Amino acid sequence: MFSIGQLSSQAQVKVPTIRYYEDIGLIDPPHRSEGNQRRYEPDALSRLTFIRHARDLGLSIDAIKDLIVLNANPDMPCKEAHVIANQHLKDLQRKITQLQQLSVELTRITQNCNSDTVGHCKVLEALGDHSSCKTDH
Amino acid sequence: MFSIGQLSSQAQVKVPTIRYYEDIGLIDPPHRSEGNQRRYEPDALSRLTFIRHARDLGLSIDAIKDLIVLNANPDMPCKEAHVIANQHLKDLQRKITQLQQLSVELTRITQNCNSDTVGHCKVLEALGDHSSCKTDH
DNA sequence: GTAATTGCTCTAGTCACTAGAGGTTCAAGT
DNA sequence: ACTTGAACCTCTAGTGACTAGAGCAATTAC
Ligand SMILES: [Zn+2]
Ligand SMILES: [Zn+2]
Ligand SMILES: [Zn+2]
Ligand SMILES: [Zn+2]
């Protein structure tokens, strides 16, 4: 039996976040003490650890909800879990590509100014002008 | 003189976004028609184009606010604009590094399952377990 | 003149939390 | 047993940068 604070430090998830996860139905409401405080069983810790790691990997709460439902049915095919993970990986890689393009443009933009004053600043000029960019964004 | 819709299509910024920018003080409130509709001068277009491009490059509204203030004072030193742009570039590169690490982990995770059922799914296992990860996140 | 489009304000919703107010319960020390 | 202080409770509101929708008014085209 954990208090919410003990669960929090074990799972490395902040106390208000745990209550938030309960509110949105990501974890089950635990039993309460006589004084109405939350008391968790050990399985709440493994559930929360799963959520924590999936969040750290960047999965959305909705995706994690789906994964939790799957996790609860060990006899179901796991293909859907693979689809969720692969989709997230694809999203991630698209995002990386996009940020790399921005990084290229910004590198160019920040190396362009020989002036000292705003009036002739090439950085400010380039920040406002897409025509010298090499990529879309 | 543009209507908000004309400004919107010229600057490629949606109408509600333009009104939002006005609310938060990023653009000046324009004159109004007799019937209380917004009527913009050409300089509103260049301001909005600047904002659009800076946003596309990933700068925050706050950073853009600072840049706009600078832009209005052509005799000031432009060093501060360089600082803002460089800071953003650094943030961007840190973010890219972090996402690349996630991508590496997720690639490993998604290629690990030989099972067909949730009960033995390595993907689900690895999503919940940080101990097999090579990096922090 | 009338109908379609565009405009107006205001409120609330998005995502995943985080902060704070104002109060209650618990655990430890005396 | 009593007191203190930490941890807990609920509820509301705020974050960033918009987006959606309701309910109405103005403009434009035919
Ligand atoms: Zn400069
Ligand atoms: Zn550009
Ligand atoms: Zn599997
Ligand atoms: Zn990990």
The secondary structure of B47-85 as a DSSP string is HHHHHHHHHHTT--HHHHHHHHHHHT-TTSBSHHHHHHH
Q: Which CATH number fits domain B4-76: 1.10.357.10, 3.30.70.100, 1.10.1660.10, 1.10.420.10?
A: 1.10.1660.10
Q: Which ligand is nearest to the CA of B55?
A: 2
pLDDT band at B123 (very low <50, low <70, confident <90, very high): very high
Dist. CA A107 → ligand 4 center (Å): 31
pLDDT at site A96: 97
Sequence-distant (≥ 6) Cβ neighbours of residue A17 within 8 angstroms: none
How many residues belong to chain B? 137
Residue in A59, A67, A103 nearest the CB of B93 = A103
Distance CA B73, CA A80 (A): 57
> Which of A81-93 are b and which e, b meaning 16 or more Cβ less than 10 Å from the residue's Cβ?
bbebbeebbeebe
Distance in Å, alpha carbon of B95 to nearest chain A alpha carbon: 8
Q: Is the CB of A34 under 7 A from strand C?
A: yes
* Bases on strand C under 7 Å from any protein CB: 6-10, 15-20, 24-27
3-state secondary structure string across A70-124: HHCCCCCECHHHHHHHHHHHHHHHHHHHHHHHHHHHHHHHHCCCCCCEHHHCHHH
Q: Which residue is nearest to nucleotide D19 (CA to C1')?
A: B16
Dist. CA B20 → ligand 2 center (Å): 23
Question: If you average pLDDT over residues B73-96, what whole number do you get?
Answer: 96
pLDDT at site A61: 97
pLDDT band at B89 (very low <50, low <70, confident <90, very high): very high
Residue A23: count of CB within 10 angstroms of its CB: 10
Q: Is the CB of B34 under 7 A from strand D?
A: yes
CB contact residues (below 8 A), chain A span 72-91, against chain B: 73-79, 81-82, 85-86, 88-89
B24-57: per-residue pLDDT in tens? 999 999 999 999 999 999 999 999 999 999 999 9
Distance CA A125, CA A131 (A): 11
Distance CA B41, CA B7 (A): 9
pLDDT at site A9: 97
In the block, residue with structure tokens 């490395």: A12
Q: Is A109 on the interface with B (CB under 8 A)?
A: yes
pLDDT band at B107 (very low <50, low <70, confident <90, very high): very high
Distance in Å, alpha carbon of A34 to nearest chain B alpha carbon: 33
pLDDT tens per residue across all 137 residues of chain A: 999 999 999 999 999 999 999 999 999 999 999 999 999 999 999 999 999 999 999 999 999 999 999 999 999 999 999 999 999 999 999 999 999 999 999 999 999 899 999 999 999 999 999 999 999 98
Mean pLDDT of the residues in chain A: 96
A75 contacts A32 by C-beta, under 8 angstroms: no
pLDDT at site A105: 97
Mean pLDDT of the residues in chain B: 96
pLDDT at site A93: 97
B3-17: per-residue pLDDT in tens? 999 999 999 999 999
pLDDT at site B62: 96
pLDDT at site B63: 97
Residue A134 is classified by DSSP as S
User: Which amino acid appears at position A89 of this protein?
Assistant: L
Q: Which ligand is nearest to the CA of B124?
A: 3
Question: If you average pLDDT over residues B88-106, what whole number do you get?
Answer: 97
pLDDT at site A116: 93
Residue B122 φ then ψ, to 5°:
-75, -30
